[in-house]
Amino acid sequence: MMPLLAQAAEFGGLELGHYLMTSAVLFVLGLVGFLTRRNMIVMFLCTELMFQAAAIAMIAFGRFHHDLSGQVFVIFILTVAAAEAALALGLVVLLYRRKETLSAEAWSELREA
């Protein structure tokens, strides 16, 4: 097994900036998708995209500082994403059974005023 952490391909601020920019663009895509899509399941998928962007930023920072805490944190992100997927999808199935539609606007009566 090759220990890649110590192999030191060049990874300075510039490389970190590139990864952070990718992560930022992915996060913004997730945000825009969450705002524009009207299908409840796709809205949840867009939150997963934002999780993904955060994970890339964490691991890039961990690589920059030679610190493994970034990777450990991504394990917790995965945990939360899995728990969220299980609960959210269970709720979506319940909602779908009531109204026979996945449109988020079908439930706009739940908001105030």
Partner 1 sequence: MDLKLLYTASVISIIGAVALWRLIRPGGLSWRIPAAVLALAAFVGLLANVGLALAGESRRPEAFFTIFSVIAIASGVRMITHHKPVYSALYFVLVVLSSAALFLLLEAEFMAFALVIVYAGAILITYMFVLMLAQQTGDPGQESGAAEYDVNPREPTAAAVVGFIMLALLSSMIYDGVADLPVPSSAQEARVATWRALDAMPARQREIIARVAPDAQTVFDEQGRMLRLRDGRASIEVIPSGSNQRREIELGDEYMPSNVELVGLDLIAKFPVSLELAGVILLMAMYGAVILARRQIELGEDEVREAAGLPRASFEALDIEGAGPSGGSGPSGASGGATS
| DSSP-derived secondary structure letter, 39 | B
Closest CA to 50 of 88, 19, 81, 86: 81
**Quick check: 18 binds partner 1 (CB under 8 A)?**
yes
CB of 40 to partner 1, least distance (A): 9
How many residues lie near partner 1 (CB under 8 A)? 85
Q: 41 to 100, contacts with partner 1 by CB under 8 A?
A: 41-42, 44-46, 48-49, 52, 55-56, 59-60, 62-66, 68-72, 74-76, 78-87, 89-94, 96-98, 100
Residues 6+ away with beta carbon under 8 Å from 76: none
113 near partner 1, judged by CB under 8 A: no
Q: How far is CA 42 from the centre of its chain?
A: 13
